């Protein structure tokens, strides 16, 4: 590390890079990350006139690392709304209250203090620096939503200052974290609540179970269920639905069905409970069972909601039940008078795309009563690339861009990939980083790619090296096609080794008894190389490994992974066919939405709608004309 800091020129850094490769230091993810950051900093310092995007990139990189934020500034590079959040995060991390005020003043001067992202990070910075009055005043003036991360920060600070904390106060904090996606924080508060001798009640359990579900912490979920039984807390339709959802998302669909059947029939009139069990079966690829439960719900006189239809349509999509999916979609409108939402159309497009019925998918989209948005576009891209299940997206979600980038990367068109990535940077669109979690002894451990932040990082990476050697001995060849980066093959193999789910499994192997089951949750899809590696790891180490990704469960045991669905198997299409069909659909959409684009009704759609032109140069049309 000292040699790294001593480098003052790019030439010296290249020499150190060569030495690191020779000595093996390049394999250390922590060293490698610092090396790349140092390299970027030196290149940046030699730029004659870096633009605002270059400044934003460097500020974000330093704010997200443990390195000191570089000083200096360029009066010609005017900060924008993407600059302030990164700087404010660094101020919060350093508890720099005075600097936060200076940056706030600069944001006001530039008229950016009302921007949602800037205001949210200002609230966090003030709260972290113990300026609670300023944080509350800014929160009220900015009109940030009550259910936002800023609201949770204020709520938690107020909670910490309470002299006496009732169960109601504890419940509010647990629910606040869970509702805003801070699931690990919700579980930590739940544990602190018990440590302080406050007994959880019915509301507490209902609030914490969704957080447990998302983390896949099955043992903790079982403890919550047992606690309810021991303390005579009634498992009514609300708590029962939460338990069914928890067991299903934690990989125990059998237990979810058992809990569902144990709910008194008079309590099962709630359609939410039925929706939970149908969605759980869909998640596990039990398409026929999901369809049967839906029919049973109708027989018992329970009127299905639109959420129940989303569950059964997902089941039909993953199970390849095209005719059943069409029938449910028609019944939703004709029998129950429900208006299909974008999620329902997304399920239908995904189902038709998996079955290769792309023309029918096009007709369905063109016949929609509302303008397609990013959700439908993402479903269409997934279908054209045969990339997998639909992930519901927010407007301007990076997923659509990433799918297009990956499509070109799989064809080796790195120039097009670079253009897509450049557009993402200019628009401030980011890709969700891959994260994996494993729960051991009630403690949730999270990892990202090439993670070295865990206290047992050295042992974990030693185990990863052992796994890599044993996989090669077993005949496994890394599938470097899964690394959609323009780097050499050796670097691609190294990148595959440090995927977040592999790090989580390695940690599980060194932390549990031989033969113990390992359960991992990942926020993105498991790549093909990790899928094949997990098969062999389960055989080599005699472990049952369960991985839940964003689409479904994967069960690995004895070197195999029994497939419970047929819908996830991609249809073999030639690359030219993919590109041809992709542009055919895209041009149709651009024509269909042209009038709305010109009137500026759909900002995110206008940005995405001209993306194919930008990356293929088929026409000399600038995306900026439609993005304004």
Task: Kindly write down the DSSP assignment for every residue of 330-390, as one continuous string.
Answer: HHHHHTT-PPP-HHHHHHHHHHHHHTT-HHHHHHHHHT-SS---HHHHHHHHHHHHT--S-
pLDDT grade, residue 443 (50/70/90)? confident
The parent domain of residue 463 ranges over 437-565
CA 205 to chain centre: 25
Interval 172-183 mean pLDDT: 77
Q: Yes or no: say if 154 and 120 are a contact pair by the CB < 8 Å rule.
A: no
Q: What is the pLDDT of residue 529?
A: 81
| Per-residue DSSP letter, 556 | E
What DSSP element (H or E) covers 519? strand 518-522
- Bigger pLDDT: 76 or 287? 287
Q: What is the pLDDT of residue 225?
A: 94
Nearest to 273 by CA among 240, 233, 313: 240
Q: Yes or no: say if 247 and 253 are a contact pair by the CB < 8 Å rule.
A: yes
Long-range contacts, 64-71 (Cβ 8 Å, 24+): 64/89, 65/33, 65/34, 65/37, 67/34, 67/37, 70/41
pLDDT digits (tens, 9 = 90+) for 274-318: 999 999 998 888 889 999 999 999 888 888 888 999 999 989 988
Whether 465 is covered by a domain: the verdict is yes
What DSSP element (H or E) covers 56? helix 52-63
Q: Which residues contact 11 (CB under 8 A, 6 or more apart)?
A: none
Taking all residues of the chain, what is their mean pLDDT, rounded to a whole number? Answer: 72
Q: Is the dihedral of CA 264, 268, 272, 275 positive or negative?
A: positive
Q: What is the pLDDT of residue 403?
A: 60
Q: What is the pLDDT of residue 450?
A: 81
Q: What is the pLDDT of residue 53?
A: 57
Q: How far is CA 181 from CA 64, 189, 431, 448, in A?
A: 20, 14, 17, 17
Q: Give the pairing of strands 518-522 and 545-548.
A: parallel
State the first-to-last Cα distance of the chain, in angstroms, to the nearest integer: 46
- Bigger pLDDT: 79 or 373? 79
pLDDT digits (tens, 9 = 90+) for 589-616: 444 443 443 444 333 333 343 333 333 3
Would you say residue 55 has pLDDT above 80? no
Q: What is the pLDDT of residue 427?
A: 56
Query: Using H for helix, E for strand and C for coil, what is the string for 111-132?
Result: CCCCCHHHHHHHHHHHHHCCCH
DSSP 198-245: PPP-HHHHHHHHHHHHHHT-HHHHHHHHHHHHHTT----HHHHHHHHH
> d(Cα 586, Cα 612) in Å, to the nearest integer?
8
Whether 501 is covered by a domain: the verdict is yes
Query: Using H for helix, E for strand and C for coil, what is the string for 396-451?
Result: CCHHHHHHHHHHHHHCCCHHHHHHHHHHHHHHCCCCCCCEEEEEECCEEEEEECCC
Q: What is the pLDDT of residue 371?
A: 57
- Bigger pLDDT: 563 or 166? 166
Q: Yes or no: say if 456 and 510 are a contact pair by the CB < 8 Å rule.
A: yes
Q: Yes or no: say if 428 and 82 are a contact pair by the CB < 8 Å rule.
A: yes
**CA angle 471–472–473, rounded 5-degree value:** 90
Q: What is the pLDDT of residue 210?
A: 92
Rounded to 5, what percent of the chain is helix, strand, coil?
65, 5, 30
> d(Cα 460, Cα 547) in Å, to the nearest integer?
19
Q: What is the pLDDT of residue 79?
A: 65
Whether 252 is covered by a domain: the verdict is no
**CA angle 400–401–405, rounded 5-degree value:** 120
**What crossing angle do the helices spanning 528-540 and 457-473 adopt, rounded to 10°?**
90
Whether 594 is covered by a domain: the verdict is no
> d(Cα 435, Cα 425) in Å, to the nearest integer?
21
Whether 416 is covered by a domain: the verdict is no
The number of folded domains in the chain is 1
Q: How far is CA 93 from CA 176, 243, 507, in A?
A: 22, 37, 28
| Per-residue DSSP letter, 521 | E
pLDDT digits (tens, 9 = 90+) for 461-511: 899 999 989 988 888 877 655 554 444 555 556 667 788 999 999 999 999
Provide, rounded to the nearest whole percent, the portion of the chain with pLDDT above 70.
58
pLDDT digits (tens, 9 = 90+) for 230-263: 998 888 888 999 999 999 999 889 999 999 988 8
Whether 600 is covered by a domain: the verdict is no
Whether 336 is covered by a domain: the verdict is no
What DSSP element (H or E) covers 555? strand 553-556
> d(Cα 286, Cα 318) in Å, to the nearest integer?
9
Whether 250 is covered by a domain: the verdict is no
Q: How far is CA 579 from CA 486, 570, 574, 586, 598, in A?
A: 20, 16, 9, 10, 26
pLDDT grade, residue 336 (50/70/90)? confident
> d(Cα 18, Cα 33) in Å, to the nearest integer?
16
């Amino acid at each position: 590390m000292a040699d790294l800091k001593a480098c003052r020129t790019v030439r010296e850094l290249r020499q150190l890079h060569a030495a690191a490769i020779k000595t093996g230091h390049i394999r250390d993810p922590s060293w490698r990350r610092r090396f790349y950051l140092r390299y970027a900093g030196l290149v940046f310092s030699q730029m004659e006139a870096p633009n605002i995007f270059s400044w934003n990139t460097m500020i974000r990189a330093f704010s997200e690392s443990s390195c000191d934020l570089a000083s200096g500034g360029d009066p010609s590079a005017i900060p924008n709304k993407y600059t302030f959040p990164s700087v404010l995060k660094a101020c919060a991390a350093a508890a720099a209250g005075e600097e936060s005020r200076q940056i706030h003043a600069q944001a006001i001067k530039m008229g950016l203090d009302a921007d949602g992202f800037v205001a949210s990070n200002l609230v966090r910075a003030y709260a972290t620096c113990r300026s609670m009055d300023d944080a509350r005043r800014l929160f009220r003036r900015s009109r940030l939503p009550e259910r936002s991360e800023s609201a949770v920060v204020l709520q938690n600070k107020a909670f910490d200052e309470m002299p006496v904390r009732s169960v109601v106060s504890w419940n509010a904090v647990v629910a606040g974290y869970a509702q805003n996606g801070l699931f690990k924080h919700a579980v930590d508060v739940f544990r602190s609540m018990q440590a302080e001798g406050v007994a959880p009640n019915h509301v507490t359990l209902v609030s914490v179970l969704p957080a447990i579900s998302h983390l896949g912490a099955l043992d903790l979920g079982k403890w919550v269920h047992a606690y309810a039984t021991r303390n005579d807390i009634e498992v009514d339709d609300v708590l029962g639905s939460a338990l069914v959802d928890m067991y299903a998302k934690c990989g125990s669909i059998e237990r979810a069905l058992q809990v569902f059947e144990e709910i008194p029939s008079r309590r099962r009139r709630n359609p939410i409970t039925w929706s939970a069990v149908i969605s759980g079966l869909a998640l596990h690829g039990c398409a026929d069972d999901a369809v049967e439960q839906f029919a049973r719900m109708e027989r018992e006189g329970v009127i299905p909601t639109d959420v129940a239809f989303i569950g059964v349509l997902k089941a039909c999509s993953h199970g390849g039940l095209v005719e059943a999916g069409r029938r449910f979609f028609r019944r939703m409108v004709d029998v129950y008078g429900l208006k299909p939402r974008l999620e329902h159309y997304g399920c239908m497009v995904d189902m038709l795309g998996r079955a290769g019925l792309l023309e029918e998918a096009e007709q369905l989209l063109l016949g929609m009563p509302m303008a397609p948005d990013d959700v439908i576009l993402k479903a269409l891209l997934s279908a054209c690339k045969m990339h997998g299940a639909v992930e519901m997206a927010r407007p301007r979600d990076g997923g659509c861009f990433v799918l297009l980038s990956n499509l070109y990367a799989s064809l080796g068109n790195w120039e097009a990939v670079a253009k897509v990535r450049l557009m993402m940077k200019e628009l401030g669109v980011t890709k969700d980083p891959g994260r994996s979690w494993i729960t051991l002894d009630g403690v949730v451990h999270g990892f990202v790619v090439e993670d070295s932040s865990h206290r047992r990082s050295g042992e974990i990476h030693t185990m990863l090296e052992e796994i890599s050697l044993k996989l090669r001995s077993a005949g496994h060849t890394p599938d470097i096609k899964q690394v959609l980066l323009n780097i050499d093959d050796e670097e691609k193999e190294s990148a595959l080794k440090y995927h977040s789910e592999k790090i989580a499994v390695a940690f599980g192997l060194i932390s549990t008894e031989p033969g113990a089951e390992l359960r991992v949750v990942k926020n993105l899809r498991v790549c093909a190389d990790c899928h094949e590696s997990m098969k062999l790891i389960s055989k080599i180490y005699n472990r049952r490994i369960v991985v839940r990704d964003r689409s479904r469960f994967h069960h690995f045991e004895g070197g195999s992974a029994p497939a419970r669905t047929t819908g996830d198997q991609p249809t073999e299409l030639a690359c030219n066919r993919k590109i041809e069909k992709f542009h055919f659909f895209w041009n149709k959409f651009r024509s269909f939405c042209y009038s709305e684009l010109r009137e500026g009704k759909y900002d995110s759609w206008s940005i995405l709608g001209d993306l194919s032109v930008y990356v293929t140069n088929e026409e000399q049309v600038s995306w900026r004309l439609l993005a304004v």
